[in-house]
Amino acid sequence: MNKLIEVQDLGLKDYKETWEYQEQLFKAIVDLKIRNRREELSLETPNYLLLVEHPHVYTMGKSGDLEHLLLNEAQLKEKNAKYYKINRGGDITYHGPGQLVGYPILDLDNFFTDIHKYLRFLEEVIILTLKEYGLKPDRSPGETGVWLDVGTPFARKICAMGVRASRWVTMHGFALNVNADLGYFDNIIPCGIRGKAVTSLNVELGVREVNREEVEQKLLQHFTSVFEAQLKMA
């Protein structure tokens, strides 16, 4: 089992371009697995973790409801935002500057073949990262992602998640609000959940801006330990 994960920091990159790049890596791994099975080979499958920040964009998952997007085409253009219907699970979410977005493209045959466990592991990486900043993050029963003040009227989401998997190969992932402009969330019903607020790390810490690179390094350390993986920077 190959537990080496190649980390690629893509910087600020268009959502559609990144999605297409994910699909390329995803397809290459799936094709290799099919070839291994057909030809009775045992060629090693690679793993990737893409880290990226997107210009303003709204994405709708397979189970999403278009009514959860509260903007029409003209209003999207006015806000300099794009919209895409995509092939991950979940409903609608927002990506934009100030977020740390991660797309693990892993062959889970290299780790464990359990999607539920995979999602819990992703949440654990985020939870451990946020605890380093003195926060008390938690899971919300029945709602994927990472939250603060779960079970209270002040519950708020700080990290959204949505994944796709085929032949145990994953794509899409998580979006952690580090220095996010929370006003953009007012234009959607985030993840289709009404009455729940959204927050960002800088807001919770009461600072203008959190060092994104520092958050990224902490996150990578916890990704290594939680997945018992070895990371290689591209």
Q: Where are the domains of the chain?
A: 4-231
Exposure on the CB side of residue 111, measured as CA atoms within 13 A: 26
Q: How far is the C-alpha of 121 from the C-alpha of 223, rounded, in Å? A: 9
Give the residue among 52, 14, 15, 64 at the shortest CA–CA distance from 190. Answer: 64
Q: How far is the C-alpha of 165 from the C-alpha of 37, rounded, in Å? A: 18
By mean pLDDT, which of 13-17, 28-32, 156-160, 185-189 is the weakest? 185-189
Q: What is the mean pLDDT of residues 66-93?
A: 91
One of 60, 125, 176, 191 is an active-site residue; which one?
191
Strands (E) in the chain, as ranges, are: 4-12, 47-53, 57-60, 82-85, 92-95, 99-105, 137-140, 143-148, 156-166, 169-177, 197-198, 230-233
Residue ranges for the binding site? Answer: 88-95, 160-162, 173-175
User: What pLDDT was estimated at residue 62?
Assistant: 85
Residue 191 confidence (pLDDT) above 90: no
Question: Using an 8 Å Cβ cutoff, are 64 and 92 in contact?
Answer: yes
User: What pLDDT was estimated at residue 195?
Assistant: 62
Q: What is the mean pLDDT of residues 203-219?
A: 98
CATH number of 4-231: 3.30.930.10
Residue ranges for the binding site for substrate? Answer: 88-95, 160-162, 173-175
User: What pLDDT was estimated at residue 192?
Assistant: 58
Place of tokens 């958050």: 215
User: What confidence tier does 61 reach under pLDDT thresholds 50, 70, 90?
Assistant: confident
User: What pLDDT was estimated at residue 49?
Assistant: 98
Q: What is the mean pLDDT of residues 191-217?
A: 89
Q: Respond yes or no: is residue 159 known to be catalytic.
A: no
What tokens appear for 6 in the block?
Answer: 């190649």
By mean pLDDT, which of 5-14, 69-78, 95-104 is the weakest? 69-78
Q: How far is the C-alpha of 158 from the C-alpha of 128, rounded, in Å? A: 13
Predicted TM-score (pTM) of the model is: 0.95
Mean pLDDT of all residues belonging to the chain = 95
